[in-house]
Amino acid sequence: MRLKYIVPILFISLFTVACSTDENDTPIINGIENLVKIQEITNNDHTIELYNKTGKFNTGYNSVTIRIKDNANNSYFENANISWMPMMQMPTMQHTCPKSAIVKVTDKNTLYEGFIIYQMTNTDGSGWSLTFNYTINNEDYTATDTISVIQSEKQNVTSFMGSDDTKYIAALIEPKDPIIGINNLMVGLYKMENMMSFPVVQDYKILLDPRMPGMGNHSSPNNTDLSYNTADSMYHGDLSLTMTGYWVLNLKLKNSENTVLKGEDVTDQNTQSSLYLELEF
Amino acid sequence: MKKCFIIGICFFCSHILFSQENRLETKKDTTILQETIVIAQRKLSNYRQEKTLSSIDAYLEKANQVTMIKRGNYAWEPSLNNMVSDRLNVTIDGMQIFGACTDKMDPITSYVDVSNLEQVSINSGQEGAENGHCIGGGIDLQMAPSKFHNSGLKTSIDLGYETNGNYKTTGLDVEYSGNKFYLNTDGIFRKSDNYDAGNEKEVMYSQFQKYNFSLQSGYSLSDNNVLEANIIYDKATDIGYPALPMDVSLAEALIISVTHRYKNGSARIKSLESRLYFNTITHIMDDSNRPDVPIRMDMPGWSDTYGFYSKATLKEKKHSLLINLNGFYNKSLAEMTMYPNDPNQPDMFMYTWPDIRTLYTGLYINDHIALNPSESVSTALRLGIHRNKIAKRAGVESLQIFHPNVKESKSCFILSLSGAYTIKKNTFDATLGLGYGERAPSVSEGYGFFLFNSFDNYDYIGNPNLKNEKALELNTKVNFKFDALKLGITSSFFHISNYIIGETDNTAKPMTIGANGVRLYNALNHASIFDVYLNTTYNFSKQISFNSSIGYNYGVESNKQNLPLIRPLSYLAEINYNTQKFNAALQLEGNGNQSKYSSFYGEDETPAYIVLNLNLGNILYLKNNKLVFKYGVENILDANYSTYADWNNIPRQGRNFYLNASYILF
């Protein structure tokens, strides 16, 4: 029994050491020690470095840490004003996706952060490009490049048509590392106004019913429905997970008039709502 | 708390240093409501005799107030005064040991065998608090004391066969006994296939196989001081539980202890016995033998206990004092892994016992005062500090789903008090006892997470906020003797407040596929349990005697609902014929109809039954060697029956012929 614990710990420690030595040549700079570089987007003057935990863009919610390097002297800017525009090129049209504004990381001088929610991708990860428009010392710059977005294994984002004939996107943001216990569930909900605009949907309600299809589709106790929080413009609720494994978070979306826009109750006949997110741990 | 434990160990170590000369034999105090079952492995006993190679369980079942809850043909769970594991204190020779199964499939009585023990001491109610806190009573499985017989080498071989279930038993016992040193080693192997219920109906998944090995050794340091070491290793595999949805592929225990004994008949301190012990249990539940299960799962559990006790007996004028300082530290961990039928899904995992650490230190004092030759008073007190800690963060978090205010650790103070008055005259003796006892919630009751109970078909969740259960107890025992007739009545009454039991939580959905719902452990305001037994013995002659016993039990909770697992009217009658070399007994045993059952906790009305048994025994002497035969028929009429104590009404064994032979070489 003791060996059972020691062996995985040994392996984990071995592999984590291996990972950190394996990184690229950039010297480790305060604030990004635990992050992996996704990609660099360059123009003539600057290099925009993109980081996150995995070093990859996946469909669903991606939090991104950004810094801009002055190619002339390899220093990082502290006073940039940045905006971004992800774009998916389809055969006949193009569209963007929900995203946040880019803000400076508090108590870090050169780091900026924001998030992008990719609702889909091509099977080979192609199709998306990312454009940065930014201002440094009152001078405007732009940089653009194609990026690769990998399809997530589980459905952590879903786009759907509501009964009000509006297209919505819901994305799972928290928990990132689920625990057996009560998790703070955070979901982002966006409306597709047009191809280029995905504003936050406010003051709706998302009903939650987590289930385990692998174990008789049982649910868990003491979950709470998600409600809108104006502070972070996200939907929050309690998600209790009684064990590790594959969970389906069955959802029902209600607007502020309490009309159901999407999703059904889970019953013996209907094992899954048409609106759902997936989670595995 | 930890300090107490350390002080205890210091105390323990210190007394090894002092020793005095002189010696005199002292007899151990027998407590008042004690019932002692002698494990008469190679003797002919004439009272409710059994096969020599019976399991401990079968021996225990012979005691009046004990019934065994059966989930299969192995590892029965003792119930004393209609109370099971959590309310009892079951010890092996004073050593605390806790089963590693969340579903009570391994009562600790299953980790020892007859070859390890000499007798079982059963103490009802607070009389059983010598080794730890309890409500229903204490069961101490006692090993043989020092064997400085100077009898040299002795070997015994035991063989047993039973037709029902093709049950084979083999045992070997080698003992070397000198004046200064002894060494006893024994092994026993048992294997049974599925047994047949009455009318030759095979009970599937009732097989088992186990072996037990023990080593006991002692060295006499001086006239007064003895040092002993003891190891028991017990391993059972392939155990079927027909009443449950899962079986056990491994139940393994290692029990180790070192004991120092000091004896001095002429000094004020008559004896001092101190022991350091350790035991570890691994219990692996699995369902790989079951063809149809909704989902495959593994449920392993581990329980490790480290402990000590130091026991002193003192005699001063009218007072006989027993002082027992003890402490233990237990780690209980159990987990569940479920394998989804869809191979793309990951395994599902949870802690069912999230590594619960229990630290206990306590002191027991018992004073027996002989008022005059015929009257005596006995008082006892146990004080203890009990601390539980959830070592796994995941355990705290998972319990917070149900109990948001769970704390990582919790301490409580536990008290037990009892007193008894005994009068002994030529024609009668009587005892009246009063007791007050408390107990801390068990690991399952406090911290269990989705423990499936197949009896009421609910998932159970522990409650870390439970208060201690408290019991007020009254007991009496009266015996009359008229020449050949002996009449005895024993009775006890318990009023239990904060009675811990499951309460349905209608908001929660069960995890187990097919379960009815979820129950949270909670405390009922109170519950009352009453039992009375009338025992009769009549000696027709020196050889022929008649025994009978009738018992009535009653249990009701504060909402006037029946408690589960309360024994219905029970009776037993036995005619014995007994000579030096031969004995025979015809037994009639039965229960009345169980009309007061608890449907809420999964019981249904169990019909009355009667079974008839015949037991015979012979002793043959061959030169210096002795051959003991025990043979007979159990359930002669091949009745197909089950009792109130059979989990999910699994039927008991049908007709069974058995033969046990013991060959003792001096």
Each domain of chain B, given as residue ranges in start order, spans: 2-665
**Predicted structure pTM score:** 0.88
B43 — pLDDT class (breaks 50, 70, 90): low
Contacts of residues A36-40 at CB distance under 8 Å and 24 or more positions apart, as own/partner, are A38/A64, A38/A147, A39/A145, A39/A147, A39/A148
Could you tell me if residue A17 is inside a domain? no
- Partner residue facing A242 (CB), from B282, B295, B511: B511
Please write the tens of the pLDDT for every residue from A218-248: 999 899 999 999 999 999 999 999 999 999 9
* Contact at CB, A244 and B514, closer than 8 angstroms: no
Residues on chain A touching B400 (C-beta within 8 angstroms): 181-182
What pLDDT is recorded for position B386? Answer: 97
Candidates B348, B447, B450, B519, partner chain A, best to mutate (most A CBs within 10 A): B348
What pLDDT is recorded for position B462? Answer: 95
Q: What is the CATH number of the domain that holds A87?
A: 2.60.40
Closest listed residue to residue B387, CA positions, set B366, B370, B368, B411: B411
What pLDDT is recorded for position B205? Answer: 95
Mean pLDDT (whole number) for B642-655: 93
Determine the 3-state secondary structure of B49 from DSSP. coil
- Partner residue facing B394 (CB), from A179, A221, A222: A179
Helix boundaries (H) for B284-410: 393-399
Please write the tens of the pLDDT for every residue from B515-555: 999 999 999 999 999 999 999 999 999 999 999 999 999 99
Q: What's the token pair of residue B85?
A: 């594991």
- Partner residue facing A221 (CB), from B340, B351, B401: B401
What pLDDT is recorded for position B46? Answer: 46
Count Cβ atoms below 10 Å from residue B601 Cβ, excluding itself: 18
Q: Do A272 and A172 sit in the same domain of this protein? A: yes
Q: Do A48 and A137 sit in the same domain of this protein? A: yes
* Contact at CB, A240 and B507, closer than 8 angstroms: no
Please write the tens of the pLDDT for every residue from B542-600: 999 999 999 999 999 998 999 999 999 999 999 999 888 888 999 999 999 999 999 99
Amino acid in the structure at residue B212 = N
Give the integer Cα–Cα distance in Å for B79 and B75: 13
Give the integer Cα–Cα distance in Å for B56 and B92: 12
B638 — pLDDT class (breaks 50, 70, 90): very high
Residues 142-181 of A with CB under 8 A from B: 179-181
Predicted complex: ipTM over 0.85? no
Q: Name which residue leads in pLDDT, B151 or B441.
A: B441
pLDDT score of B45 more than 80: no
What pLDDT is recorded for position B657? Answer: 95
* Contact at CB, A221 and B294, closer than 8 angstroms: no
Q: What is the mean pLDDT of chain B?
A: 89
Please write the tens of the pLDDT for every residue from B84-120: 989 999 999 999 999 999 999 999 999 999 888 888 8
Q: Do A37 and A127 sit in the same domain of this protein? A: yes
B149 — pLDDT class (breaks 50, 70, 90): confident
B140 — pLDDT class (breaks 50, 70, 90): very high
* Contact at CB, B507 and A222, closer than 8 angstroms: yes
Count Cβ atoms below 10 Å from residue B313 Cβ, excluding itself: 20
Could you tell me if residue A10 is inside a domain? no
Please write the tens of the pLDDT for every residue from B359-378: 999 999 999 999 999 999 99
* Contact at CB, A214 and B295, closer than 8 angstroms: yes
Q: Do A43 and A127 sit in the same domain of this protein? A: yes
- The residue segments making up the domain with residue A41 are 28-150
* Contact at CB, B345 and A245, closer than 8 angstroms: yes
Residue B452 is inside which H or E element, if any?
strand B451-453
Q: What's the token pair of residue A169?
A: 């996107």
Mean pLDDT (whole number) for B15-32: 35
Domain boundary among A150, A171, A198: A150
What pLDDT is recorded for position B7? Answer: 53
Min Cα–Cα distance to chain B from A9, Å = 16
Could you tell me if residue A254 is inside a domain? yes
What pLDDT is recorded for position A215? Answer: 87
Q: Do A251 and A192 sit in the same domain of this protein? A: yes
Candidates B303, B339, B349, B401, partner chain A, best to mutate (most A CBs within 10 A): B401
Could you tell me if residue A114 is inside a domain? yes
A3 part of contact set with chain B, CB < 8 Å: no
- Partner residue facing B345 (CB), from A1, A180, A246: A246
A32 — pLDDT class (breaks 50, 70, 90): confident
Residues on chain A touching B349 (C-beta within 8 angstroms): 243-245
For B2-665, CATH gives 2.40.170.20
Domain boundary among A150, A169, A203: A150
Min Cα–Cα distance to chain B from A204, Å = 25
Q: How far is CA A106 from CA A38, A110, B10, B201, B516, in A?
A: 22, 10, 56, 76, 52
Min Cα–Cα distance to chain A from B117, Å = 30
Min Cα–Cα distance to chain A from B298, Å = 14
Could you tell me if residue A4 is inside a domain? no
Please write the tens of the pLDDT for every residue from B335-348: 999 999 888 899 99
Residues on chain B touching A250 (C-beta within 8 angstroms): none
A216 part of contact set with chain B, CB < 8 Å: yes
Candidates B335, B509, B513, partner chain A, best to mutate (most A CBs within 10 A): B509
Mean pLDDT (whole number) for B154-169: 93
Interface of B with A (CB under 8 A): 282, 294-295, 302, 336, 338, 340-342, 345-351, 394, 396-398, 400-402, 404, 449-450, 505, 507-514, 518
pLDDT score of A135 more than 80: yes
A215 part of contact set with chain B, CB < 8 Å: yes
Nearest CA in chain A to B394: A180
* Contact at CB, B511 and A244, closer than 8 angstroms: no
In percent, the amount of chain B with pLDDT more than 90 equals 76
* Contact at CB, B397 and A214, closer than 8 angstroms: no
Q: Do A142 and A40 sit in the same domain of this protein? A: yes
Please write the tens of the pLDDT for every residue from A83-95: 999 999 888 889 9
Residues 229-258 of A with CB under 8 A from B: 240, 242-246
- Partner residue facing A219 (CB), from B396, B397, B509: B509
* Contact at CB, B348 and A245, closer than 8 angstroms: yes
> Beta strand pairing status for B137-143 and B625-634?
unpaired
Could you tell me if residue A80 is inside a domain? yes
What pLDDT is recorded for position B267? Answer: 85
What pLDDT is recorded for position B25? Answer: 31
Domain boundary among A150, A169, A189: A150
CB pairs under 8 A between A and B: 91
Q: Do A140 and A200 sit in the same domain of this protein? A: no
* Contact at CB, A216 and B295, closer than 8 angstroms: yes
- Partner residue facing A216 (CB), from B294, B336, B346: B294
B24 — pLDDT class (breaks 50, 70, 90): very low
Candidates B250, B299, B337, B345, partner chain A, best to mutate (most A CBs within 10 A): B345
Give the integer Cα–Cα distance in Å for B108 and B330: 14
B30 — pLDDT class (breaks 50, 70, 90): very low
Candidates A177, A215, A266, A268, partner chain B, best to mutate (most B CBs within 10 A): A215
DSSP B182-210: EEEEEEEEEEE---EEGGGEE-TT--EEE
Give the integer Cα–Cα distance in Å for B593 and B610: 11
Q: E strands, A43-162, where?
A: 46-52, 57-58, 60-70, 75-76, 80-89, 94-95, 103-104, 112-118, 128-136, 139-146, 149-150, 157-161
Closest listed residue to residue A232, CA positions, set A275, A189, A277, A197: A189
pLDDT score of B41 more than 70: no
Which segment of B18-27, B136-145, B412-421 scores lowest on mean pLDDT? B18-27
* Contact at CB, A222 and B402, closer than 8 angstroms: yes
Residues on chain A touching B512 (C-beta within 8 angstroms): 216
Dihedral sign (CA A9, A15, A19, A21): positive
Q: Name which residue leads in pLDDT, A6 or B535.
A: B535
Could you tell me if residue A169 is inside a domain? yes
Which segment of A242-246, B422-426, B618-622 scores lowest on mean pLDDT? B618-622
The structural domain count of chain A equals 2
Q: Name which residue leads in pLDDT, B610 or B58.
A: B610
Nearest CA in chain A to B406: A181
Min Cα–Cα distance to chain A from B455, Å = 20
Residues on chain B touching A179 (C-beta within 8 angstroms): 394, 397
